[in-house]
Amino acid sequence: MKPNRLIHSQSPYLLQHAYNPVDWYPWGPEALQRAKVENKPILVSIGYSACHWCHVMEKESFEDAVTARLMNESFICIKIDREERPDIDNIYMDAVQAMGLQGGWPLNVFLMPNQKPFYGGTYFPNLKWKQLLANIADAFAKHEDQLAESAEGFGRALQRKETEKYGIQLGEKELDPDELVEIMTKLSGQFDEKWGGMNRVPKFPMPVVWDLVMDYAKLSKNESYLQKVLFTLKKIGMGGIYDHLRGGFARYSVDGEWFAPHFEKMLYDNGQLLELYAKAYQVSQDRFFLEKVTETVAWLEAEMLQEEGGFLSALDADSEGEEGKFYTWTYSELQELVPEELPWLSKLYKLKPFGNWENGVSILFQTQSYQELADEFGMGLEEFEEKLNQVKFRLLEVRNRRIAPGKDDKILTGWNALMDAGLIQAYHATGERRMLDLALNNLKFIRTRLEKEGVLLRSYKSGQAYTPAFLEDYAALIRAELMAFEATGEGEHLVFAKSLTDRCIDQFFDPTDGFFFFNNPSSETLIANKKEIFDNVIPASNSIMASNLHRLALLTYEESYSKISKDMLGGMSELVAKEPGFLANWGHLYLENLVPTAEIAIIGKGAKNLANEFFQLGIANAVLAWSEIPTETAPILQGKTPDPTGNALIYVCFDRACRRPVSTVADALAQLPYLN
């Protein structure tokens, strides 16, 4: 079959549709202009390569010649990869929800020739889809004026500012410890006490929520909250959502017990969960969390690392047209492969002769701890773990000979940076230098491949970088660069983070309401310029940016950064109190401002070792800079000196006022504040 225009795309998702009989266009001037010239409605269909229902709708409708003819005759059809163009996805997802319809992917939205939406929805079975196409084509032919009027209304709603929509009033506000207690109480009321996580189905890990709860537990010395986090992370790590053979986490579980995942693996989830499990190991020293960290890094190296140092985006849920087929096992397969180990393996992973899931297959789902199983089967813990690792190795060998799920091999700046943050935290937790090197090599890759003449780009594939970066990319990269500066002491990371921040303020900041646009309004004209303020599976780009500005101000002594951050937090504080489950990263910033954040500077011989001691402990709510010699690398280090013998001193400061310098981490810890 002759390819359509998508054949020239880089996106694996768009290329999946390149041989559809639909006359697809990528988003761009050619399609938009044709809609105006021919006065045809636009059909925008948005999805991503690991999306199960996107594949289903493609097979049922977009590969069907009759359906394609209906689409081609009456519409200008545009395919969009939401991961490449989250800005457009944000606009039309908002539009569909404003219509009172359920959002999700695939997202199918009908627009007037001026890009304003008048109807939409998600997955449609083929018969309903054909009926809808016919009805909309008829309505456009006979009642174009009514559709245009409806589209104008939705267009106005889309252009309404988020600050107006949610009653956000910019300005610094006094933070109240009692309000933070209420926020945490309200948040904890949404926890699932039996299975961990949030009390809702399907179950998403939501790392941003547990990161807040963990740091609140540390700073308030609240053991109960800490145990809630560790309990949740245990349940997730034991669940079918975790890949027990290879490492790495699936996107979510379809049930409330973390049992049956939606099998796609996304880089952004795994970066955040890697960081969270590393923190859990730091605070607990429980080898369970260490196992998840080391196995997930091994998965990243084996399956997601591109030869130039970039990390790939995602693995599909499906293989051979069946969701989860790559990851599941029949009992007879296991009997043949590991017959002697099957008695204890069945107990460990809830394996049953007729399967524990659908179609007679089993998902590996850990039900007991290694110690419990070792005791029950008369083994020492080390012997049990050695046997388990041999079984995992054997099963992984066999699994790797199966037809693998599709791989989305584009590289996205923001998602790579989320993984870099996870790797740096994993290095602090484990001391394994290769984890830090993976992050540093990736940050270098981003700087050399995705920075072109002072412009940061979002996507990279086949040697080509494309699409100007969004706030999500800048925010995640700034955070990773600040973490790299703290870990290495190399000033270039701080300089780059500051440069990116200044670019954000120049190109994305809206002084009329004090928040940042998701897209750079000057790079392309869209029907609306949205601001992302709610934290979801990825924290909101505005909340990451506000946190970056807070930390950058402490490292650079630039008050303008602090002012923007405090005003943003002040504007959001009432909403955080109302809906902490969807604003957890803002809650984290609330905590950091209330306590307050310690500014730690270490200067002199042995500074690196002292810094690593701090990092290994996983201290909450501090920025740290270090150098073996007096330096002007960062304002936080200026004017700090070692002891008379040249050995390192630790300066713990707040708002640039420093406590008495000390020489041991224990003495410095005694100077850190806690939440009363």
Q: Where are the domains of the chain?
A: 5-159, 331-401, 598-669
Q: What is the CATH number of domain 5-159?
A: 3.40.30.10
The amino acid occupying position 343 is: P
Tens digit of pLDDT for each residue in 227-264? 999 999 999 999 999 999 999 999 999 999 999 998 99
Q: Are 636 and 482 in contact (CB under 8 A)?
A: no
Write the pLDDT tens digit of every residue in 475-534: 999 999 999 999 999 999 999 999 999 999 999 999 999 999 999 999 888 989 999 999
- With a cut of 80, say whether residue 221 has pLDDT above it: yes
pLDDT at 182: 96
pLDDT at 632: 85
- pLDDT at 553 > cutoff 90: yes
Predicted local confidence at residue 676, as pLDDT:
73
Distance, in Å, from the CA atom of 381 to the CA atom of 156, rounded to the nearest integer, reads 63
d(CA 152, CA 112): 9
Please state the rounded mean pLDDT for residues 146-167: 91
Question: How confident is the model at residue 486, as a pLDDT?
Answer: 98
Q: Which pLDDT tens digit goes with each residue over 21-31?
A: 999 999 999 99
Integer Cα distance of 229 and 186 in angstroms: 16
Residue 229: the pLDDT is 98
pLDDT for 633: 85
User: 643-676 pLDDT, tens per residue?
Assistant: 999 999 999 999 989 999 999 999 999 999 998 7
Q: Which pLDDT tens digit goes with each residue over 571-629?
A: 999 999 999 999 999 999 999 999 999 999 999 999 999 999 999 999 999 999 999 99
When pLDDT is cut at 50, 70 and 90, the band that residue 103 belongs to is: confident
pLDDT of residue 617: 95
Please give the C-alpha separations between residue 175 and each of 211, 542, 594, 631, 672, in angstroms, as whole numbers: 20, 19, 6, 35, 19
| Rounded CA Rg of the chain | 26
Tell me the three state secondary structure of residue 602. Answer: strand
Task: Please give the pLDDT value at position 155.
Answer: 87
Token look-up 């310098």 returns: 661
Q: Is the predicted pLDDT of residue 549 greater than 90, yes or no?
A: yes
Contact call for residues 243 and 249 (beta carbons, < 8 A): yes
Residue 118 phi, psi (nearest 5): -130, -15
**Is the pLDDT reported for residue 550 higher than 90?**
yes
Tell me the pLDDT band of 398, cut-offs 50, 70 and 90.
Answer: very high
Residues 216-223 have a mean pLDDT of 96
Alpha-carbon distance of 68 to 89, in angstroms, equals 23
pLDDT of residue 529: 94
Helices (H), 80-222: 86-98, 126-159, 162-165, 177-188, 207-220
Identify the residue with better confidence: 52 or 392: 392
Within 13 Å of residue 576, how many CA atoms lie on the same side as its CB? 27
pTM, full prediction: 0.96
Residue 441 · residue 309 · CB < 8 Å: yes
Residue with tokens 């140092």: 309
Residue 218, C-beta contacts closer than 8 angstroms, at least 6 positions apart: 226, 283, 618, 620
End-to-end CA distance of the chain: 69
Res 101: pLDDT: 87
The CA-atom distances, in angstroms, between 18 and each of 43, 388, 465 are 16, 44, 21
**pLDDT at residue number 52:** 85
Q: How confident is the model at residue 569 (pLDDT cuts 50, 70, 90)?
A: very high
Residue ranges in 489-603 assigned as alpha helix (H): 491-507, 541-556, 559-578, 584-594
The mean pLDDT value for 71-89 works out to 96
- Identify whether the C-beta of residue 526 lies closer than 8 Å to the C-beta of residue 87: yes
Across 48-98, the runs of DSSP E, i.e. the strands, are 76-81
Instruction: Name the β-bridge partners of 603.
Output: 627, 649
Taking the CB of residue 663, how many other CB atoms lie within 10 A of it?
17
